[in-house]
Amino acid sequence: MQIEEITIRPYQLTDLPYLLEITAEVFGPVSIDLNMETKFGPFGEGDWRSRKKSAIVLDCEAQPDGVFVALVGQRVAGYITTRLNKTSGIGWIPNLAVGSEFQMRGIGQRLLTHAVNYMRESGMEIAKIETLEQNPIGKKLYPAIGFEPVATQIHYAMRLTDLDTTINE
């Protein structure tokens, strides 16, 4: 079996359809929006996939020079998005995904390492990434790269269309 080379390169606009395809394929098990749909049923326009794909589009538009793509051979295998805040010195990784066909090859780790190096070279002092409790891969991978837990957050939601009356202020 031939092992194809993995390369990391800057995002190009022509990558976007592949990023969206990977997003729709792999984010379900770690999607807050899917959690809410499971609990409350459908809401808004579209579903969790369309909302998550919209977030990826926004990442690519907000700081396209901070989006990186992993290639296996010539195929887009995964991506990572970053946001840099020069004032705070914090670099944030909003999204990281690797297509299921390419998982367990170290691609996520390579993307994370690349993003952290990019943030360091861009003058950031802190790198941050978030994950849900239900993400066993992230909970193992992020500390392996050097990230340390600093806080736990609980996401609450309520369906507003089920309320019979307005909540008293």
Note the pLDDT tens digit of each residue in 137-154.
888 999 999 999 999 989
- Of 141, 152, 157, 131, the closest CA to residue 29 belongs to 131
pTM of the shown model: 0.90
Contact residues for 18 (Cβ-Cβ < 8 A; gap 6+): 69, 76
* β-bridge partners, 14: none
Q: What is the pLDDT of residues 22-48, one digit of tens each?
A: 999 998 888 889 999 999 999 988 999
Q: What confidence score (pLDDT) does residue 1 get?
A: 40
For residues 115 and 107, the answer to whether their CB atoms sit within 8 Å is: no
Phi, psi (deg, nearest 5) at residue 130: -120, 150
| CA-based R_g, the chain, Å | 18
Residue 75: pLDDT over 70: yes
* β-bridge partners, 83: 92
Q: What confidence score (pLDDT) does residue 133 get?
A: 85
Cα distance between residue 57 and residue 59, in whole Å = 5
Residues above pLDDT 90, as percent of the chain: 73
Residues above pLDDT 70, as percent of the chain: 94
Q: What is the mean pLDDT of residues 79-107?
A: 95
